[in-house]
Amino acid sequence: MAFCTPIRNSLSSRPTMALSDHTNKKSALPSFLTKNGLFRTQRPFHHPYLSVTNVASPSPPIAPPPLTPPKRSDTTGGPHHPAWTSIPQERWEGELHVQGQIPLWLKGTYLRNGPGLWHIGDYNFRHLFDGYATLVKLHFENGRLIAGHRQLESQAYQASKKNQKLCYREFSEVPKHDNFLAYVGELANLFSGASLTDNANTGVTKLGDGRVVCLTETQKGSYVIDPNTLETLGRFEYGDTLGGLIHSAHPIVTDEEFLTLLPDLIKPGYLVVRMEAGSNERKVIGRVDCRGGPAPGWVHSFPVTEHYIVVPEMPLRYCAQNLLRAEPTPLYKFEWHPESKAFMHVMCRSSGNIVASVEVPLFVTFHYINAYEEEDEDGRVTAIIADCCEHSADTTILDKLRLNNLRSFNGQDVLPDARVGRFRIPMNGSEYGILEAALEPNEHGRGMDMCSINPNYLGKKYRYAYACGAQRPCNFPNTLTKVDLEEKKAKNWYEEGAVPSEPFFVARPGATEEDDGVVISMVSEGNGEAFALLLDGSSFEEIARAKFPYGMPYGLHGCWVPKH
């Protein structure tokens, strides 16, 4: 087996523009709101390959939305939890009152992306993943906290707002057609990708050159935003000819590079591609051919080590027939093919060669936590360890995320089990790998998803992970959990009726301990309110919280933009 040349993973960040302080007084308009009510950027934005047009909608001056009880549900007859209630207005910004103390070293902006609007007119969407993207920011400076939210101005969102109906295919939603010819035309657009959504509601990441991009699984759903104003600057255009309709929603991003996977639905496999910081051009590192099944497995995310890229082949596979359906199946765009088995492939980052390909037990995962290389006493890599939030090979988790399930919790324990799944991939030519729990699942209530780590440990041996666990009975992860993979213990934060979003770890500058930092989460409360929460990364005790003036819908993934 050939060893790979090390690839440096510098995770230091570059300077970004500071956020201006705004008040809620009518006379104090934000610097990005012009006199005629149109949005503009705070500075010119130029970049090769990126054609930026102002796509934001005219809006009135910012005012706090009313803090009202959640709207009543069309499906249950009872009140919605604010986590599953659409955001009350398109945008807002203001300073929050802080209870506790924000560390003075915490200077920068936490950005979170996720679905926040689940209806158009009188039509209610059906699945958590269908909602139109809502960006939320928390700007920390000098112990103060300025917060805000804004809808991402994707083409899908703007079209639905203009026409008051669904215009593009979302995760589980298909536009209603007036006649058969319109339906046939929409199918033709599906194959070209024209009818697929560009609703970038999954994640947000800071590229090595400072640009901030919102992403989802369709390649066209990549948008550049201003991290200070949350303004949508324009679509991120890939400056290459690789084509394809979909990619991994979670790339691996460092100051040097952007790595992602492009599933090949025609000849089942995956292209592994790399984009240098400052470029829009993806270049192929290598290709992995699938070893089983009629299509590649879903690759929502994937892990890397210092020298290798791990390409998972999950038996939950893309399904072209399900893509064509007007009504969703319980597995939506996918099919479960246990007979096709499951595999993990390891590719050398420098050469593109596949150095290991092993069969593993069946698994279902959305999110990988981290991976690293195990070495023998002579420094030779003997195995790859890859950790993930694994749902015990149970595909029902997808259908449990339907909004009527989330909104109709009646006290029964219906959340499928999950664990920290640990893959051990041998590098000695063996045909089989191992999948087991990295710690006893009851430590975190048999719930596990939405994970983050200290980014300085990306691809390296690590000890701590932060995720959402479960306090049962529940129908959705409802705790913040710190996992100690060395002691095989977990510590959980929980408040009755609360639904916290992804815990995001920010390391203290100059820290020498892995867990020296803070954990940021946004919490939706059952009483219709919401707050930003800061936990100490080491003790996992609360150090500060700040209430929003409105209920906060559940969000998915975030990133940190430091201020220097």
Residues comprising the binding site? 250, 300, 367, 557
- Residues 166, 168: Cα–Cα separation, whole Å: 6
- Written as one string, the DSSP assignment of 1-49 is -PPPPP----------PPPPP--S-TT---TTB-TTS-B--SS----TT
> Which helix (H) or strand (E) segment is 159 a member of?
helix 155-163
Calculate the alpha carbon distances from 538 to 99, 213, 466, 483, 506 in Å: 20, 30, 11, 11, 12
Q: Which residues are annotated as a binding site for Fe cation?
A: 250, 300, 367, 557
Beta-ladder partners of 255:
none
Q: Looking up tokens 């390409």, which residue turns up?
A: 311
- Residues 413, 392: Cα–Cα separation, whole Å: 17
Residues contacting residue 97 through CB under 8 Å, at least 6 positions apart: 546, 547
Residue 509 sits at the vertex; the CA angle it makes with 504 and 515, to the nearest 5 degrees, is 50
- Residues 215, 297: Cα–Cα separation, whole Å: 20
- Residues 45, 135: Cα–Cα separation, whole Å: 20
Q: Over 252-285, what HEC string results? A: EECCCEEEEEEEECCCCEEEEEEEECCCCCCEEE
Tokens read off for 440: 């006893």
What distance lies between CA 98 and its chain's CA centroid? 27
What distance lies between CA 235 and its chain's CA centroid? 18
Helix (H, G, I), strand (E, B) or coil at 51: coil
Q: Pick from 446, 438, 505: which is nearest to 478 by CA? A: 446
Residues contacting residue 385 through CB under 8 Å, at least 6 positions apart: 371, 372, 373, 374, 422, 423, 424, 425
